Homo-oligomer: A and B are copies of this chain.
């Protein structure tokens, strides 16, 4: 039995997050994207300190698709170096897991 996997990334705005997220859902690579608007960031970049306004995106998929989601997200992401972090929940509601497995492709 596969298990749930979250992907944490950020986009320049809500529209780009939703557009790329919808493509990943249609490709059955993820079951869902949650996009949080209005995020403010401060970050180091090549030694300078930058400020930005972005959107946080949390993608929900299965562990067996991690490599495929990772590759597709990198190819389609508007940033040269997007932040991509994988978080494995230690548990899930049974219906949440069933939904994740039904709505995504078998890892292959």
Contact = CB atoms under 8 A, between A and B. Distances in A.
A25 B39 contact: no
A67 to B, nearest CB: 10
A84 B103 contact: no
A6 B45 CA distance: 18
A38 to B, nearest CB: 5
Contacts of A70: 93
Contacts of A88: 90
A37 B34 contact: no
B56 A44 contact: no
Interface string A16-56: 01100110011010011111111111111101010100101
A1 interface: no
A45 B60 CA distance: 13
Given A25-B44, A31-B43, A33-B42, 12 more contacts: A14-B40, A25-B49, A34-B56, A44-B104, A45-B103, A74-B93, A83-B96, A84-B96, A85-B89, A85-B93, A87-B87, A87-B89
**A-B residue pairs, 7 tightest by C-beta:** A44-B103, A84-B93, A86-B91, A32-B43, A85-B89, A35-B40, A22-B42
